[in-house]
Amino acid sequence: MKNDKALTPAELELTQKIQLHFPREIDPSIINRWNGLSAEVLQRTLHSVFSQFPGPLVTVNFTKFALLVDLGIITVPEDYDHETQLAKFKERYQGDDFKTFLVYSEEITDANFSNPTRTLHPGERLRVQAFKQIVSGATTYEERMEFLATQKAVYVGAQGASLVFTQKHSQLWKGVDSYASLDKKDRLLKDCNGIDRVPTILLYSGGGSGPYYTPDSFGFAHCSCDGVCTFLCFTEVEEEEKVA
């Protein structure tokens, strides 16, 4: 979408400010992804951002959370079945004879997490990033969900987290102890005390003991939504990436 119309003085001033104050030290893979977008997609994205008034929500989101790691793209297997994904995942990684996880919550079942906002289908591809809290003190679950909305995230629940572990577990060791897969609260599991629980990949490093313990071990549990500091962000793959 080519636009030959000259910029107004106000538009020109804004573009100059963006160039002057553009943040340094952004992950090169993210910059490359932006540079790879078509002019039409880039213009549409910029129009969406700058056609609304800046407000407190934008300020809060972008100062409290930052990218931890871009895990790349996951592909939903051709034999994927939403109704049995978590049972098959447990059978593969936490069977009677071999256990991958130091901790595995028995509450993570297809029945308990049957209704994520976004159901996955065979052959689909999603980009996965992880964001972390970068301010001291507490942030709310609502703030994290608002931030994910600015990223145009989709919420794929425990099933999405299971695919991240299967396809990306070697990339998860980034100095954090958990990766949560967030969803709207009415889609979460409530425990016996009425506390909302989110499916979470846990990481343990050093110390400990037990027959299945290794110096770097994983867990898969349902954690309190209020205790989340690092969370996964699933987004639809752009058309350009689908072609590639």
Same domain, 69 and 44: no
Q: Does residue 11 carry a pLDDT above 50?
A: yes
Cα–Cα distance between 94 and 116 in angstroms, integer?
Answer: 23
Total domains in the chain come to 2
23 and 120: one domain? no
Residues 61 and 153 sit within 8 Å (Cβ to Cβ): no
Q: How confident is the model over 214-225, as pLDDT tens digits?
A: 445 678 776 766
Give yes or no: residues 37 and 114 share one domain: no
**Do 116 and 223 fall into the same domain?**
yes
Residues 68, 47: one domain?
no
Q: Which two tokens stand for residue 164?
A: 């991240």
- Say if CB 116 and CB 155 are below 8 A apart: yes
Q: Do both 42 and 95 map to the same domain?
A: no
Mean pLDDT, the chain, rounded, equals 83
| Between 53 and 129, the higher pLDDT residue | 129
Structure tokens that stand for 155 in this block: 């919420």
**Using CA atoms, how far apart are residues 200 and 103, in angstroms rounded to an integer?**
11
Q: Cα(181)–Cα(236) distance, rounded to whole angstroms?
A: 15
Query: Do 82 and 32 fall into the same domain?
Result: no
Let me know if residue 58 belongs to a domain.
no
Establish if 3 belongs to a structural domain: no
The yes-or-no verdict on residue 57 having pLDDT over 80 is: no
Q: Are residues 81 and 193 in the same domain?
A: yes
Rounded Cα gap, residues 64 and 57, in angstroms: 11
User: Is the residue at 39 inside a domain?
Assistant: yes
Tell me the per-residue pLDDT of 88-137, one tens digit each, with 9 for 90 and over.
Answer: 999 999 988 888 888 899 989 999 999 999 999 999 999 999 999 888 88
Residue 191 and residue 224: Cα distance in Å, rounded?
Answer: 9
Question: At residue 78, what is the residue type?
Answer: E
Does residue 85 sit in the same domain as residue 178? yes
Q: Looking up tokens 């160039």, which residue turns up?
A: 19
- Helical segments of the chain, H only: 9-21, 28-35, 39-50, 56-64, 85-93, 141-150, 157-168, 239-243
State which residues form the domain around 163.
64-243
